Structure 1
Amino acid sequence: MFKAVIVDDEEDIRYLIRYLVEKSKHKVEIVGEANDALSGIALCKKLKPQILFADIRMPGMEGLEMIGQINQSLPDIQSIIISGYSYFSYAQEALYRGVAAYLLKPLEEELLEEALKKVHRILNIKQKERQYQKRMDIELKKLQNCFENPMDMGRQKEPVQRALEYIKENYCRDITLEEVAGIVFMHPTYFSTLFKKEMGQSFVVYTNGLRMKKAGRLLCEGGLRAVEVSDMLGFRDVSYFNRVFKKYFGKSPLEYKEEEKQKK
């Protein structure tokens, strides 16, 4: 659930916003209210809400100036302006300051729902990005320690082991280094280096090796053509499949198939 603060000098508007937000299907908790901009700034610094409902015209300081100051300490906060002024210049400046929505009084429930839906989506994305970045920072720190302390290498095998499990489950399609690096929360460059150091071969060579072993079995035991095997193993075209196959086995799929027939 996301926290929200309301800053508006009209008590009935604050009441209406609270009522509609609490009634909404979007999970938002109103944690505080203020009736002027300076109090609103202090309240946001104290409570650190993710959402701010604000009027654009208030005694002492305008809402947009207040939002600008709050953004300095809470850069990810999502602001929803609720104003009695429909001037284009206000809406334009609100957009410039990164305001998520500009709603007019009298406040319409449907438009508030749309605004809440939008800020929920933005906040969820930001939350996932922070979690991903945090995990990546942890993995990068582990890898950095690994290079600084080679004796600790044995302790760093967990990401590669997780990657190997994922590769073995998905190698029959065109998986990429970037995809697998994301699964273990590592930067592709660092993951590539760590993988090669532990496995003695690159990600591409290892993955294609699994695919070629499977291809050999499918050609001989399944009685399939190269184009069918290529498609089953997720190769982008059969010519590329043939090149990889020949590099791995030293012969074309047809030559390999014929030789295996003669052995039986």
Structure 2
Amino acid sequence: MLRIVIADDELPIREWLNYCLKDKNTKLEIVGIASDGLQAQELAVKEKPDVVIMDIRMPKMDGITAMKNIKKVLPQTEFVILTNYADFSYAKQAITCGAKEYILKSELRSSELIEILVKIEEDRYTQYDRPRIADQLERAAQKALTEYAGEHIDTNNQFIEKALIYIHEHFDKAISLADVAGQVYRSPEYFSRLFKEVTGENFSIYLINYRLTQARKLLVNTDFKITDIAYRVGYQNPSYFSRLYKKYMGITPEDERRKNSPKAKKC
């Protein structure tokens, strides 16, 4: 479960975030709500949250200063920055200082925020060395079952292959590491580690790359609107999809279509 602190000087934003995160996902716990940067810093030090969702401009202390101060005490805490269009360059500075993601307030959607938080949660499985006991127990259980039943248990490659098939068939839906791990009857921690061993990539990175590869095919070979393509590859927020595409593919969806579609090549 992710422990979250919300910090924003606008009451409607604070209330909306609190409502959405409590309503959308039972795996998220709001442990504090702050209305200024100083209060956010004090709350974070006290509650030790996994994530702070914070406005970049607040009274008493701005978001970047608060983030830097919190990072000194809680280096593992992640930050999602909220910003207005006027703060765009300021938001980029926040990213260089360690923020995980930034969201424009004018485009703030609960679906995008949940996607970001789910990714943070998944990354935590791979970033930290989870108890080796779960790994050892799983291996021991497999060995015991083999000895007892005398039946062949799928090798690591085989059940990762099953997981990949599931991803390829359901990438257009809101699937998570835990969902796919459940499909192959493995714990999320064990599955995450083994997925990296077999494929060479973290689960979340693999899913993003696969979705964006499929998106590129649609951009180049169809006339679907970019908004529709975002939905077709599993992203409910087109703006978030466009930012991901630029980040991982090195080009915007619009430029991808302009430069590489068959129509563009004829020109």
In our comparison, the structure showing a higher alpha carbon Rg is: 1
